[in-house]
Amino acid sequence: MNIKQLYQHFKECNGISTDTRNIENNSLFFALKGNNFNGNHFARQALEAGAKYCVVDEEKYALDSRYLVVENVLKSLQNLATFHRNELAIPIIALTGSNGKTTTKELTNAVLSTKFKTTATLGNLNNHIGVPLTLLQMTDATEIGIVEMGANHPVEITFLCTIAHPDYGLITNFGKAHLEGFGSIEGVIKAKSELYDYLKANHKTIFVNENDPLQIKQTLNYDKVFKFGLRTSTDTMLEMVNTQPYVTLSYNGSEIKSKLTGSYNFNNIAVAIAVGSYFKVESDDIKNAIEAYTPTNNRSQILKKGSNTIIMDAYNANPTSMMAALENFEQLVQAKKVVFLGDMFELGATAEIEHQAIVDYLEQNKLGKTYLIGKNFYKTTVKHPSLQKFESFDALKSHLQNHEIKDAFLLIKGSRGMALERILELL
Ligand code: ATP
Ligand code: MG
């Protein structure tokens, strides 16, 4: 079956399904393969559950005309997404970066959707499957698409660009994340900049944060840039007003009080303002959209439990975001601070150095009682008595049973696999 025929079938359906536990009526089911499963096995089940057609890549599973046989299901999903995207011919904004992609995507979507019918990446569906699924969510009604692109290896962003063909793009930051796959910070810069390379090669627009020298350097001789930043004299001028504990900034002379903590969120908000102003969203609508946005999923959420106030940042962690969180926590004016840090994953050979660097920072900038949890932190050399190591979550749990924490301001941050949100139950 060729792509045009597949597209015709797609137009007859209500959307895409890839999981038989979650089949939408009248959808087009893609029988994807994983390391431990073969979607072809579930094709029949998908039809029984309500799918209209099934895309399979093994002839023997195709029982009647509802089975659409292609050479490779994943490739077909990606090609269909590109075909659909080109048919729609709407502006697509792509964003990538080491930290803050989802937050920035959601803020940007909140701002743009006050004026346009937008379709944005759902949650964190930012890879070689998520990006096509996002594009296929777009309909004739969609006026602007916002696509989050994630990567933990070189060439992934280039590949995602050849699927999504973005017209606009930005990089939230270059940080020490996924060093296992990228090798070094230089590797991160090169890999994330694949988005710039694509946009430049196709003469598309780049949103550039003027406060980031790396972004400036990488776009120096390029003319299609829209610049924004703190107190710059360029396209969008912003000022930081306050970060205690939420980021308040001023834009066009009016104050925007966000519900996001962490000075690092200034950049994420700045992107949304810049994109909004580029697409001529009214200042008041930009302000209202940002003020209404509340982070979810343990992404720098401020919570209360008993007498304690908590910055819950247990969604994920890497050296850059952990340092940003610590620096922010240090600036917050609170009497009694307590820090819980869990291991950072996917650091490969740099794991030991990066965990020790965090400990060294803590030794110098005593933030208060600090609990370090996990095998990596356990291996670090700790001198100051305010820092305490635990090899596992259970070890921390037994300790806290005899050491209650009260009237404190807490920071909780660690990689997803550490699931440090469990600490809430111990307080
Ligand atoms: P993922 O790689 O899982 O897709 P992401 O890039 O989408 O992550 P978010 O989910 O928006 O990032 O944010 C995750 C965490 O990263 C936040 O809770 C916060 O701790 C941190 N963070 C967000 N923005 C920044 C930033 N600009 N600089 C440093 N750290 C940040
Ligand atoms: Mg994300």
**Within a domain: 194:** yes
What would the pLDDT profile of 168-179 be if each residue is shown by its tens digit? 999 999 988 888
Q: 3-state SS of the chain: helix, strand, coil percent to 5? A: 40, 20, 35
Query: What are 211-265's pLDDT values in tens digits?
Result: 999 999 999 999 999 999 887 666 777 888 888 889 999 998 889 999 999 888 9
C-alpha span between 260 and 165 (Å, rounded): 31
Q: Quick one: 373 and 232 in the same domain?
A: no
Identify whether residues 163 and 280 lie together within a single domain: yes
Contacts of 48 (CB under 8 A, 6+ apart): none
Atom number, ligand 1, closest to the C-alpha of residue 173: 27
- Those residues with Cβ within 8 angstroms of residue 353's Cβ, 6 or more apart along the chain or in another chain: none
Residue 178: which CATH number?
3.40.1190.10
Q: Concatenated DSSP letters for 236-249? A: EEEEEEE-SSEEEE
Establish if 76 belongs to a structural domain. no
Whether 239 and 318 share a structural domain: no
The full length of the chain comes to 427
Contact of 120 with 91, CB cutoff 8 Å: no
**Distance (Å) from CA 72 to ligand 1 centroid:** 34
Question: Given a cut of 70, is residue 84 above it in pLDDT?
Answer: yes
Residue 175: predicted pLDDT: 87
Are residues 106 and 17 both part of a single domain?
no
- Measured from the CA of 320, which atom of ligand 1 is nearest? 29
Which residues contribute to the annotated binding site for ATP?
Answer: 97-103
Pocket test for ligand 1, best of 101, 103, 312 (most atoms within 8 A of CB): 103
- Ligand 1 and 264: CB distance under 6 A: yes
Predicted local confidence at residue 293, as pLDDT: 96
List the CATH number of the domain containing 327.
3.90.190.20
Residues 287 and 263 in one domain: yes
pLDDT tens across 328-374, in order? 999 887 779 999 999 999 999 999 999 999 999 999 987 889 999 99
Query: Does this complex have an ipTM over 0.90?
Result: yes
267 in ligand 1 pocket by Cβ < 6 Å?
yes
Domain extent at residue 311: 301-426
Nearest to 340 by CA among 265, 398, 409: 409
In this structure, are 355 and 309 located in the same domain? yes
Assess whether 240 and 347 both reside in one domain. no
Q: How many domains does the chain have?
A: 3
